[in-house]
């Protein structure tokens, strides 16, 4: 059981099970720029769908165990907030994906 403690940034706000209030957590997320942040909240669901569709086979090395989805079309400087379509995505290993040059962390 965790007792409510004040947020490290907002001493007047009590938080349960953490060191920061919801607002601070959101701000932290934004700073880190996670994949889900970059592609919007639907990204995790979409990548899971793509991985399932491809049976977890990485389209780069053809081995199973893919844990992310990769854009098939090059995103030359084009920032997409939401992937248009799962047809443009393929399952991939995070490691393979970043080895390719597209840095998804």
Largest CA distance in the chain: 52
**Which CB atom, from 24 or from 44, has the smaller least distance to Zn ion?**
24
93 is a contact residue toward Zn ion (CB under 5 A): yes
21 is a contact residue toward Zn ion (CB under 5 A): yes
Minimum distance from residue 81 beta carbon to Zn ion (Å):
26
**Which CB atom, from 17 or from 77, has the smaller least distance to Zn ion?**
17
Candidate segments 25-33, 67-75, 80-88, 96-104, binder of Zn ion by CB under 5 A: 96-104
Name residues contacting Zn ion, limited to 58-77 (CB under 5 A).
58, 60-61
**Distance between CA 62 and CA 91 in Å, rounded?**
10
50 is a contact residue toward Zn ion (CB under 5 A): no
Residue that has been written with the tokens 């030359």 in this structure: 76
One DSSP character per residue, 57-89 reads: B-TTT--B---EEEESS--SS---SS-S-GGGE
* Whether 56 contacts 91, CB under 8 Å: yes
Binding-site ranges for Zn ion (CB under 5 A): 7, 9-10, 21, 24, 58, 60-61, 93, 96
């Amino acid at each position: 059981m965790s007792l409510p403690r004040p947020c490290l940034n907002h001493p007047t706000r009590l938080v349960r099970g953490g060191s920061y209030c919801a607002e601070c957590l959101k701000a932290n997320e934004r700073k880190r720029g996670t994949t889900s942040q970059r592609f919007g909240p639907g990204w995790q669901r979409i990548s899971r769908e793509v991985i399932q569709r491809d049976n977890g086979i990485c389209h780069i090395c053809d081995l199973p165990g893919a844990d992310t989805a990769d854009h098939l079309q090059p995103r030359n400087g084009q920032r997409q907030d939401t992937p248009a379509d799962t047809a443009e995505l393929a399952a991939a290993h995070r490691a393979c994906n970043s080895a390719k040059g597209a840095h998804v962390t």
